Amino acid sequence: MRTGKVWWLLLIGALLLPAQVSAKQKKEREKTDREVWCDMMYRMAAPVLSNMSEGKLQENMLVELSPTWDGRDKRVTYMECFGRLMMGLAPWLSLPDDDTSEGAQRRQLREWALKSYAQAVDPNGKDYLLWRKEGQPLVDAAFLASSFLRGFDALWVPLDSVTKRRYIEEFTQLRRVDPPYTNWLLFSATVECFLKKAGAKADTYRINSALRKIDEWYVGDGWYSDGPSFAFDYYNSFVLHPMYVECEEVVTNGGKRGEWNHPAHKFQQGVKRMQRYGVILERLISPEGTFPVYGRSITYRSGVLQPLALLAWRGWLPQELPEGQVRTAMTAVLKRMFGDNRNFNEEGFLTLGFNGRQPEISDVYTNNGSLYLASVAFLPLGLPADHPFWTDASQPWTSKKAWEGEEFPRDHAFHE
């Protein structure tokens, strides 16, 4: 009996041990939020930059156009893809090198990116972008200019003198485009603000007139109108808040100087408005890690989160938004959206849709290069791994608290 009991205990132990080891291994393999973000960003960026660095993006990219495509030159796809990707990627690539696995990812992407920047403006290269046809290049030149503003020392300074001269020429000739009376005014302003920062001749009137008009279109409680008529969509996320604040930062030197026709406080005012909008965005994230699907350009996916991402990266999150809470909420969305293969086509590029292949929801101007605006949700990767945004304990976000019966802060409107 005693021998039988020992045998039985040994048998149970043998059966339990693999399960215990498996559980331990699973726990050890569980990735941090930052590792999850890095892997997602690398997966999004690698097919674009690995190809473009060798002048092969236009040869190898699997292009998808909206079923209602408006007929413009489809080569705008490549400029949209590269410009929008780099706008979100720039802060991460600006971190110093290290010997971690993340550091290897970052170093490889930066190497590809610098080569890709050169390919983009080489008129004799296969990946010379569509700078001089259509009006659309103004949009994506602004995204490229924004990438240089966000990663000036890491991405602009190292470029060779010929490449820099070519960018200044391409940016300058885009003054041929008369922007529509909408968020497009900020595309002109962003290009000119970059020229100003780079020490080139900038058109101050294009900058200041655009910023004054956007300020006039502020409708209150953190929202701008996109033109004279208000539209309920996410263009406050995609363009209006980020580009307005970043242009104001250049013009006023971060609120340190003003001009007789442009006061210095406009920068701080813009940040406060974006903070209120960020509070609203965070409350829109459901307990399940989703957000409401409404308005045009919804195929830009996680680009909806750009103001929250920008506030976190720049250290501008308001008191109502603890860093651990924002990270946890954003991670829930990113996992929900990019945690599987549904948003990539068979060649690894983003596919038309919102969360999966859904081409019919694309607007007439949408191609799958447009979708790389999703990268701007990853701006906090520009914070080092030991920053509180990454190290603070996870916290449930506002809607999760509310729907689970926990205490949560009462909301209120923002008044200037």
20: pLDDT confidence band, cut at 50, 70 and 90?
Answer: low
Ramachandran bin of 295, using left for φ above 0, alpha for ψ from -120 to 50, beta for the remaining angles: left
| Average pLDDT value over all residues in the chain | 93
What whole-number distance in Å separates Cα of residue 11 and Cα of residue 31?
33
For residue 289, the Cα-to-chain-centroid distance in whole angstroms is 18
Q: Which residue has the higher pLDDT, 328 or 24?
A: 328
- pTM more than 0.85: yes
Note whether residue 7 is domain-resident. Answer: no
> Could you give the 3-state DSSP secondary structure of residue 384?
coil
Give percent helix, percent strand, percent coil of the chain, each to the nearest 5: 60, 5, 40
What CATH number did the domain enclosing 257 receive?
A: 1.50.10.20
- In this prediction, residues 75-80 reach a mean pLDDT of 98
Note whether residue 45 is domain-resident. Answer: yes
Note whether residue 4 is domain-resident. Answer: no
Specify the number of domains making up the chain: 1
Note whether residue 125 is domain-resident. Answer: yes
- In this prediction, residues 165-174 reach a mean pLDDT of 98
Q: Which helix (H) or strand (E) holds 223?
A: strand 223-224
- In this prediction, residues 152-156 reach a mean pLDDT of 98
pLDDT at position 21: 46
pLDDT at position 6: 41
pLDDT at position 4: 44
The per-residue pLDDT for range 290-344, each reduced to its tens digit, is 999 999 999 999 999 999 999 999 999 999 999 999 999 999 999 999 999 899 9
- In this prediction, residues 396-403 reach a mean pLDDT of 98
18: pLDDT confidence band, cut at 50, 70 and 90?
Answer: low
Q: Which domain does 238 fall in, by range?
A: 32-403
What whole-number distance in Å separates Cα of residue 131 and Cα of residue 138?
8
Residue 220 forms beta bridges with which residues? 223
Note whether residue 409 is domain-resident. Answer: no
Q: Which pair of tokens denotes residue 105?
A: 């990812």
For residue 8, the Cα-to-chain-centroid distance in whole angstroms is 58
